[in-house]
Amino acid sequence: MDNQNTRRNFLKTAGIALGCLGLAVPERVIGSGNKVLDAEGDTITLLTPGGQLVKVEKSKLKPAELPSLTENQKRGREGLPIRAWVMVIDLSKCRNARKCMAACQAHHQLRPEQHHMNTLQMQDAEHTAPYYMPKNCQHCDNPPCTKVCPVNATFKRSDGIVLIDNERCIGCRFCIAACPYSARVFNWFEPRDAEKYKDVVYDIEANVPQKKGTISKCLFSADLLRAGKLPSCVSACPNGVYWFGDQNEDAVTNGTTKETTRFSKLLKDNAGYTLMEELGTKPRVYYLPPKNRAFPFEGEMQKHE
């Protein structure tokens, strides 16, 4: 009992302290903006999840409940209840617009050469037609990366997402070696705009702010999913490439058209498949073959010997 009391007292004090901090440094503005830059006069500059800088009047700000780092990390490790997220990428629709890549880099504070989402030019055999293939973390159900992590910094959640805790990562890069999809990136230097993000509380579900010497990877924009939104790459696509949804509900929504359809039927009708299924990784990202393409393949194949 005594123990509990002290803990409650501690939490109370901590709560008051956090509340004060929340007043001084407003963390979330009406659910969207969450990055504070600097205050000047009656307006304040904020960074939205989309990576835009916006000026907002101070009077419009309301103090937000600021989740503490530990709460945040604990919550982030559990996953959203009864969800099983899946992504379907329709290769027949992709024209290499790269809006997904840009949105992703803005959301996750990535440098231009760091890709959670990367649109690759693919050609399966010498005489087959080339096509564009957006590739992100496959959120495998049998993930080779989480197995090798020595400190449980990268882990698989109950809703199927593979996340990374960059407060714990020691930077050994074993997970990069283990991942057959080259889905992981490392912060070789200070991350982009490190100064701007330095006071932001770490959000494990967006892996922002990024940290030097740690791993980053696609998280299906878990922070947006918690807010009931689609991942940033999915909603950024202008061509209807991405479908995203819950396997338990058997429903996926197209990020461009917002049309919702049956996940199983979509795969069945279009001969959906997973990447390198022979490796036994059981991806949660499915592909629809590049058949009857909406756009022709343009440009030259990049050669890498």
Partner 1 sequence: MTQKLTPDESRQKFDKIFADLTRSLKIKDELARFWIFILGMFLIVGLWGWIHQINKGLGITGMRDYVSWGMYIGNFVFFVAVSLIGLLISSILHLLHFDWGKPISRVAETVAIAAVALAGLVIVMDMGRPDRFLNIFLHGRFASPIVWDVTVITTYVAISTLLFYLPLIPDLALLRDRLGDDVPKIQKKLYSVLSLGWKGNTRQFEIITHAVRIMLVLIIPVGLSIHTVTSWLFANTLRAGWDSTIFGPYFVSGAFVAGSAAVILVMYVYRQRYDLEEYFTDKSFDWMGKMLVLMCLVYLYFNINEYLVPAYKMRAAEGVHLRELFTGRWSGLFWFAQIGGIFLPVILLLFRYFRRPLPITIIAFITLVASWFKRFIIVIPTLEHPHLPIQNVPEHFVHYTPTRPEIMITLLPFFASAIIITMLAKLFPVVTMWEYAEHSGVDKKTMFEDSEK
Interaction site with partner 1 (CB under 8 A):
101, 113-115, 118-122, 135, 144, 147-153, 168-174, 176-178, 180-182, 184-190, 212-215, 276, 279, 302, 304-305
CB of 218 to partner 1, least distance (A): 13
CB of 168 to partner 1, least distance (A): 6
CB of 138 to partner 1, least distance (A): 11
CB of 216 to partner 1, least distance (A): 10
Q: Which is nearer to partner 1, 9 or 182 (CB)?
A: 182
> Cis omega before residue 209 (within 30°)?
yes
Q: Which is nearer to partner 1, 98 or 196 (CB)?
A: 98
- Cα atoms in the Cβ-side hemisphere of radius 13 Å centred on 266: 24
Q: Which is nearer to partner 1, 138 or 253 (CB)?
A: 138
Tokens of 65: 């409940």
Contacts of 57 (CB under 8 A, 6+ apart): 42, 43, 44
Length of the chain (residues): 305
Q: Are 56 and 41 in contact (CB under 8 A)?
A: no
Residue 22 to residue 11: CA distance in whole angstroms: 15
Q: How many CB atoms lie within 10 A of CB 59?
A: 8
Q: Which is nearer to partner 1, 111 or 226 (CB)?
A: 111
CB of 98 to partner 1, least distance (A): 9
CB of 275 to partner 1, least distance (A): 8
Contacts of 3 (CB under 8 A, 6+ apart): none
User: Is 287 in a helix, a strand, or coil?
Assistant: strand
Q: Which is nearer to partner 1, 117 or 206 (CB)?
A: 117
CB of 133 to partner 1, least distance (A): 9
Q: Are 157 and 137 in contact (CB under 8 A)?
A: no
Measured between alpha carbons, how far is residue 298 from residues 226, 255, 295 in Å?
Answer: 37, 24, 9
Q: Which is nearer to partner 1, 31 or 180 (CB)?
A: 180
b/e burial code for range 241-269 (CB count within 10 A of at least 16 → b): bbbbbbbeeebbbbbbeeeebebeebbee
Measured between alpha carbons, how far is residue 113 from residues 155, 183, 269 in Å?
Answer: 25, 13, 36
Q: Which is nearer to partner 1, 168 or 293 (CB)?
A: 168
Q: How far apart are the first and last CA of the chain?
A: 67
Tokens of 206: 């967006």
Q: Which is nearer to partner 1, 50 or 171 (CB)?
A: 171
CB of 97 to partner 1, least distance (A): 14
